Amino acid sequence: MRDSTDLSASPSPKGALPDVLRPAAGAARAFAEQAKAENTKRAYRADWRCFRSWCGERGLDALPADPRTVTLYVADKAAPSDGSAPLKVSTLERRLSAISQAHRMSGLPSPASTREEPLHSVWAGLVRTKGRAKDKVAPALTPDVVAMVEALPTVELLDGSRQLTTAAKRDRALLLVGFAGALRRSELAALTVADLGFGADGMRLRLRRSKADQEGEGATLGLHYGDRPLSCPVRAVQDWIRHIAITEGPVFRSVDRHGNVSDRALDSGSVARIVKRAASRAGLDPAAYSGHSLRAGFATQAARAGAHERAIMRHTRHKSERVLREYIRDGQLFDENPSDALGL
């Protein structure tokens, strides 16, 4: 069955696609390319290259691939014979999705269905053996974020006082807004000055598009002024914008080692590196933290503080209550814990 995104053939039985419809077909292909987030497409391309390389080394066809080829590929990557590290179940799931996408975009049936044999039985045994548990990053809770901010580097001024370096001013604003707004890395990187609004109550953030909002409906968040100037997200952003004197363009930009600020926005990877570097300065294990730690930390901290689930979900913009409740459960592990009654 031809995939709906394969528009090279005529929709009528008369033959080739008429010239008058070719511009429409090109536009349709362009829209189809935007159906998935750029990070997802990048991961799929890398996964597809891996599968194609694996097949090539063994003289097997990658496109179209036989279901038995995919089954052997999964088994080999789950229990490698070459001494390499086995892939996690979550990674293998993504690899199968990439294989399916490559076939469907070529108008071919997917050979990577875990509901059909021979992959079905192998996959069921694999999940039963290895489990589906995901490695979670450590949530950056309020004390962690405050410690990260307090550990940012400073420079001494002529009068003997100290102030944050240019990069540290950016990092303070990024850490505090990412935490208080429960923002994803991509959302932090995409913020522009036009997305910010300041008032007596605090700051309004306009999120134009995010991972869970591929249709671009957008969302608006409100962040109150904090009790402490050092850890107030609103004041931190105002200080950063005032320091680099910008009125438009990206909020969070790259800064070189000399303190020169670029016109270009940070990318998602840079956001993650900033969080890890801040964690290390604060004496935390950088390997346990990532860009997602800020968002996870908000949900966990809010749950510990007794915030209502609906209010947390509205702020984090989670589409799934199940995913949000994973954070809430983590945040409430030690609340009314029955182990308190053991008298140990």
CB 247 within 8 A of CB 193: yes
Residue in 44, 73, 289, 327 annotated catalytic:
327
- Respond yes or no: is residue 14 known to be catalytic: no
**Better pLDDT: 247 or 35:** 247
pLDDT category of residue 83 using cuts at 50, 70 and 90? confident
Which range, of 95-109, 124-138, 185-199, 323-337, averages the lowest pLDDT?
Answer: 323-337
Cut 0.85: pTM above it: no
pLDDT category of residue 7 using cuts at 50, 70 and 90? very low
Residue in 184, 276, 281, 315 annotated catalytic:
184
Which tens digit of pLDDT belongs to each residue from 18-29? 777 777 767 766
- Respond yes or no: is residue 289 known to be catalytic: no
Residue in 120, 211, 304, 325 annotated catalytic:
211
- Respond yes or no: is residue 295 known to be catalytic: yes
**Better pLDDT: 284 or 215:** 284
Residue in 95, 103, 235, 292 annotated catalytic:
292
Which range, of 8-17, 168-177, 270-279, averages the lowest pLDDT?
Answer: 8-17
- Respond yes or no: is residue 184 known to be catalytic: yes
Q: Which of 186, 187, 140 is nearest to 330 (CA)?
A: 140
Phi and psi at residue 25, to the nearest 5°: -65, -40
Question: Domains of the chain (ranges plus CATH)?
Answer: 36-130 (1.10.150.130), 142-331 (1.10.443.10)
